[in-house]
Structure 1
């Protein structure tokens, strides 16, 4: 049994994007961890491609976004066509460059490439990744988790049983999760009747190569996605009623792809040749009953599976891990207790429920065959296409920038939650908006979102004007106490409209960073006045209040960080 100082505090089962995101953020917080995966190595093929704005913000905080972008293709738009194909023009075109994020465009990056970047970052931080290691079973008690694993030689042979000890275990091992199975948790949902064919091909169509193309044809759908290396990914739905025992066993071919391409682009459209990869798959909609059983937790596809339409699955798993990581870091340092871990399900399961409803509605609308229903659907799409505000709302929802935890027990608005300034700025639980700022020390550019590169809580002290005597006393009290009492958990940033000088005792030894809201972007996003904004390590707002309610902030921090 591996115990002692070299034993990881957290054992992660599953080396996909969710597990590696969790591992990286645990290591960033100083918590040693190990990732195991039953596969002998990374699979070369994957259905997951899309990386939305919120996931890019998370990857930027983790220091991996630039490497991922180097392996990806950025999409400028999403085009959806009706049953007449391209000839009648798109029913709906959604531009991807208008999101309120520093990374608005959808990235197309195959999952194996994302995993390779994440694995390199994980190992560079000192993380251990054991391939070809299968979880057999586990036991847990008040002191930790004991896991029994079978570790093979990398070729799937010569297994050796080992006992691993950890404080916590997290199952990020996918839709067929062994961790979820051992916990005996219900995975409730349903299977869709539709089946899909997927092909990665070399192809040169007359289509924009920086956009996603979806064709809702009379006989079935065609999705065409340009890949980073000049190839295309094609997905078609097989028509209902085609499935027999013979067709289920038959190897898929390109005939149906060629038929749909002609229907979508015309008889003269070029056709792809032999595929690089060809696969048939079905989809499900399922959600686990509980995200936690004592010291064992679940994340990603182990919690929720859904249709690939909308590219929500991988992105939701990444956000699960980002939400969970900082809570595990605090728990391993002795803060928060079980209530902190309970907040993970309280925050993330409603997000998965909402995501599953939205993806289910999108999938069922795209599958309809009856002519009258197709007509109604297409009319709604045209309506959305003619109303830019509605289109922007759809893109923002898909990007997961609107995800919030307003009903979480971990967030608070202080005693003045219902006063008139409630409508100004983000509410507790919302994602903290980005804004460009300027360093007061050297004039260099800064961004609010960039604070997430330090995996701690960040207190933003907004000064709406020249502070009076009372405000100066409050500032001095905050800057005197907070850096000492919460040295490892909190950083303080003072943001003023026209620049503001603090006493040397308040700025010495890095006690606070001074930023200037030079172009007014911060006021535009957060409102006016002198405020306290506490941003959590996952970029969501934990607490907000007027500057004069600083005493309540100390009470909130005491509850959050109590031992």
Structure 2
């Protein structure tokens, strides 16, 4: 009999990318957790494949990006073709991000790397472990779990259901999961073969009989096509299905290679659903347990990972005694609107890619061509697809201080925005630094920007601010002073042992944030929590007091 324990403060149901990401980030924050998964071992394949630029930033902060790169193929562009030729070319390398690409990495490999990281941090993973039921009160959650042939009771302070589209946790909470089913049936084949197409690009062919997508795998290609209108989901028919793929390939390639026996062949239908609530007291939902959608645009796995990153730092603070219920409420307030917009955009993409009427196809193709001819529109499409433009500006958790009208709003990110990465130089050792490198420490980061040639009043404000930050906050807060010019000497009056000194040697920070005397507070997930002129430092201290307040 396995004995339950309260040692794990968080019980996570589901060992997919969402659950493992949550577990890794909780452990990085010092919160012990346990993951249970009903499968005895991970599946060797799945429909989830692509990792977008924003997700790669998260994975880099978690210390797993390099390992994932070794198991992936970078996709640097997406090409869309109509029946009359090219329509749109999206070049990911033009994105302003440290990782300007989409990584083709099967979900099974993502899970393997995340699981290795989770275990290396001391995480405990129970496989062949099924959640039977659970209950909660003001002190925590109790769950009955079947592990193999045994049933045990597990206690935790928080339970998170990251258990997919058929979530047992969501079912136990009785939460609606409303949406719609698409009429189309899709065919997916993973093939170990070569195609006469650029292997660092993804290709979509919007054909009259049904769309065909060719996506590079780390080895070989994934082909996805829409089946005939009367086709039904269910077991694949290898002979017939491969014949259909060859028929579609004939329309776009010459010559067409003989298709080998597939590594994986499946038919599937598509659903669009969204849960009504992401939280019930001490029980949360994340990933596919909250939202499912068409695989078009590769948004599902990425959105689930972002859910987990957003939730993790809030649970870390809460379980350390900070923030209270308002902090936990912000998880749904921030992430559910993102899912609503994502579902809308993916639905539009899916609908337009499966159009069959000639008039509608012609209008779609004209619009895609126009988008490709307008640089700003093309860049916006890429940033949206890569999730770099996701923001939480409407969240009650972010603030702009007394300067609410933000007359300098065109300079730097707004509260709730993703903080851009920039190159800097350490004044401690002269080595290169990147702003996103700070995120490897999963705390809030206060960036102080004195501006050009800071005068005496500015130096006094800096000294006073650094002196007044309570010592207890320094466990949750790191301070970095970013100077336009290196100071003469060590400038102890500007950073009396409480701040790192970095130099904006190439003006990269000023280009992205402006030149004024300002302060910026970056959250552990890389979004901006607060910004204000440096002269309004008192308001920052009030914000920190609200953020790090004790109790519920």
Task: Say whether 1:514 aligns with 2:501.
Answer: yes
Task: Say whether 1:183 aligns with 2:173.
Answer: yes
Partner of 1:39: 39
Aligned positions of 1:45-56 closer than 5 A: 45-56=45-56
Q: Which of 196, 209, 212 is 2:199 aligned to?
A: 209
CA-atom RMSD in angstroms? 1.4
Partner of 1:366: 353
State the shift of 1:83 in Å: 2.0
Partner of 1:130: 126
Tell me if structure 1 keeps the 8 A contact 2:234–2:267. Answer: no
- Which TM-score applies when normalising by structure 2? 0.97
Task: Say whether 1:463 aligns with 2:459.
Answer: no
Task: Say whether 1:251 aligns with 2:237.
Answer: yes
Q: Which of 92, 110, 115 is 2:88 aligned to?
A: 92
Deviation by residue 1:485-518 (Cα, 9 ceiling, x = unmatched): 3121000000011123565376455x11000111
Aligned positions of 1:351-430 closer than 5 A: 351-430=338-417
Match of 2:257, SS? coil
State the shift of 1:391 in Å: 1.3
Q: Which of 535, 540, 543 is 2:530 aligned to?
A: 543
Aligned positions of 1:36-435 closer than 5 A: 36-84=36-84, 88=85, 90-152=86-148, 159-229=149-219, 231-243=220-232, 251-252=237-238, 253-266=241-254, 268-435=255-422
Tell me if structure 2 keeps the 8 A contact 1:261–1:271. Answer: no
Take 1:516 and 1:98, find their aligned partners in 2: how far apart are those partners? 26
Take 1:502 and 1:132, find their aligned partners in 2: how far apart are those partners? 57
Partner of 1:156: none
Partner of 1:28: 28
Tell me if structure 2 keeps the 8 A contact 1:211–1:225. Answer: yes
Take 1:387 and 1:420, find their aligned partners in 2: how far apart are those partners? 29
Partner of 1:559: 546
Question: Would the alpha carbon gap of residues 249 and 69 (structure 1) be closer, same or farther in structure 2, given more than 3 Å must change?
Answer: closer
- Which TM-score applies when normalising by structure 1? 0.95
Deviation by residue 1:136-184 (Cα, 9 ceiling, x = unmatched): 00000000000000001xxxxxx10000000000000000000000000
Take 2:132 and 2:458, find their aligned partners in 1: how far apart are those partners? 59
Deviation by residue 1:168-213 (Cα, 9 ceiling, x = unmatched): 0000000000000000000010000000111111222211111001
Tell me if structure 2 keeps the 8 A contact 1:474–1:548. Answer: yes
Deviation by residue 1:60-114 (Cα, 9 ceiling, x = unmatched): 0000000001100011210111124xxx3x2111111011100011110011011
Task: Give the gaps of 5 or more residues in structure 2.
Answer: none
Deviation by residue 1:256-283 (Cα, 9 ceiling, x = unmatched): 11110112224x3213121111101011
Partner of 2:13: 13
Match of 1:504, SS? coil
Take 1:478 and 1:502, find their aligned partners in 2: how far apart are those partners? 18
Partner of 1:155: none
Partner of 2:465: 478
Take 2:53 and 2:491, find their aligned partners in 1: how far apart are those partners? 39
Take 1:75 and 1:39, find their aligned partners in 2: how far apart are those partners? 31
Aligned length: 546
Task: Give the gaps of 5 or more residues in structure 1.
Answer: 153-158
Tell me if structure 1 keeps the 8 A contact 2:130–2:146. Answer: yes
State the shift of 1:385 in Å: 1.7
Take 2:444 and 2:321, find their aligned partners in 1: how far apart are those partners? 16
Match of 2:12, SS? strand
State the shift of 1:454 in Å: 0.3
State the shift of 1:393 in Å: 1.1
